[in-house]
Amino acid sequence: MASIEIEKLEKSYGHVSVLHGVDLDIRDGEFIVLVGPSGCGKSTLLRMIAGLEGVSKGEIRIAGNRVNDLHPKDRDIAMVFQSYALYPHMSVAANMSYSLRLRKMAKEKIGAAVASAASKLGLEPLLERRPKALSGGQRQRVAMGRAIVRQPKAFLFDEPLSNLDARLREQMRAEIKKMHGDLKATSIYVTHDQIEAMTLADRIVAMHGGVVQQVGSPLELYDRPANLFVAGFIGSPGMNFLEATCSGGSVRLKDGSEIEARLHTSTPEGSSLTLGIRPEHVVITRDGSGRRATVELIEPTGFGIILHLSLHGIPFKVFTLDRQALAVTGEITVSFPPEYIHLFDGEGTRIG
């Protein structure tokens, strides 16, 4: 196992720049999730760590050694691909042992390593099968098995669960987390699924447009998003945003009403702000106090209920566990508890 340091890493294809200076310190044994919308550079970053993409500028160090110009085979990392990338002409056992055979390991040792990995993943009955005779979930397991037999310095996962159905994805997610708990291996996991990011990560790296937006524990990103992008990306249903201005030390919404919020004193008078509040933090008031909103649509999820409201013409969502909300029609009133209000300045940076 090893730590991985990334310093001022840049990547460009011709004139197109994909990564704009990424800095990241990954501690030994840490589970890091790179998350962001497609095209944000997360996969490119992972492939650069793997050595499948060259480095345009900056430095990657694995266990303190600069690996910029090292061939993937010499970096001692394992990778699980989205497509699994199993070798179709080899049996499951041969797929798993391929890396060990390339390293000319003794036959008995290879057998033992494969057997132990197979028992961890429940693959023993499948060892003689070819990949085409496996289901999607089984192929995924084989891909994981191929990675763990080698006990590499680090594991890289490139959206490994995207091709599975929802139930299987949930199950594999738990297994990956359990496996990480057992192996304590440094892992970097790329996904666009924020639930995977939240549940698996020790620390999440939220990326957008080739720039790291925020690095922190899942709850840090949820509770104190550093900017509008992270605020909108983490959480489902997504955070509500309302335009506002700073007026006399308090926040004034577009409709002219004032709202109680903790605001930095340094915010200039009259500057425009964005107020954010998560749908699950909005309170539906029964006594008629608060803001009026019109119910447009009700989505029961079984677990809870998502209310689509119109707040002065602005779409607004509320999530509640209260089943009485299923019966609401017409106008309701909602209030925003001040401790759950996020404020962002004109540039989108968090200010309170």
Partner 1 sequence: MKRSLLPIIAHRTAILFFIVFALFPLFWLLKVSVTPNDLLYSEGVRMWPSRTTFDHYTFVLRHSAFPTFFKNSLIVSASTAVVVTVCASLSGYALSRFSFRAKYWIVALMLLTQMFPLVMLVAPIFKILSPLGLTNSLTGLIIVYSAFNVPFATFLMQSFFDGIPKDLEEAAMIDGATKFTAFRQIILPLTLPGIAATLGFVFTAAWSELLFALMLINGNAAATFPVGLLTFVSKFSVDFGQMMAAGVLALIPAGLFFLLIQRYLVQGLTAGAVKG
Report in angstroms how near the CB of residue 283 gets to partner 1 at its nearest.
44
Of the candidate spans 77-85, 197-205, 290-298, 340-348, the one that interacts with partner 1 by CB under 8 A turns out to be 77-85
Report in angstroms how near the CB of residue 11 gets to partner 1 at its nearest.
16
CA gap 182, 29 in Å, rounded = 11
Residues in the interface with partner 1 (CB under 8 A) total 32
CA gap 43, 40 in Å, rounded = 8
Report in angstroms how near the CB of residue 156 gets to partner 1 at its nearest.
8
Planar angle of CA 175, 181, 184, nearest 5 degrees: 125
Sign of CA dihedral 126, 127, 129, 133: positive
Of 19, 77, 110, 334, the residue at the interface with partner 1 (CB under 8 A) is 77
Closest to partner 1 by CB, 113 vs 318, is 113
Query: What six digits make up the tokens of 262?
Result: 């903790």
CA gap 109, 122 in Å, rounded = 20
Report in angstroms how near the CB of residue 110 gets to partner 1 at its nearest.
13
Report in angstroms how near the CB of residue 98 gets to partner 1 at its nearest.
5
Residues 12, 56 contacting (CB under 8 angstroms): yes
CA gap 38, 277 in Å, rounded = 25
Of the candidate spans 36-44, 67-75, 250-258, 308-316, the one that interacts with partner 1 by CB under 8 A turns out to be 67-75
Which strands form 240-247's sheet, in the order they lie side by side?
A: 258-259, 250-253, 240-247, 272-277, 342-344
Residues 255, 313 contacting (CB under 8 angstroms): no
Residue 163 interacting with partner 1 (CB under 8 A)? yes
Report in angstroms how near the CB of residue 7 gets to partner 1 at its nearest.
23
x-marked contacts with partner 1 along 123-142 as a string, rule CB under 8 A: -------xxxxx-x--x---
CA gap 190, 196 in Å, rounded = 9
Residue 55 interacting with partner 1 (CB under 8 A)? no
C-alpha distances (whole Å) from 281 to each of 128, 236, 254, 310, 341 are 53, 12, 21, 17, 9
x-marked contacts with partner 1 along 79-118 as a string, rule CB under 8 A: x-x-xxxxxxx--------xx--xx---------------
Report in angstroms how near the CB of residue 20 gets to partner 1 at its nearest.
24
Of 15, 64, 69, 71, the residue at the interface with partner 1 (CB under 8 A) is 71
Residues that bind partner 1 (CB under 8 A): 50-52, 71-73, 75, 77-79, 81, 83-89, 98-99, 102-103, 130-134, 136, 139, 146, 150, 163
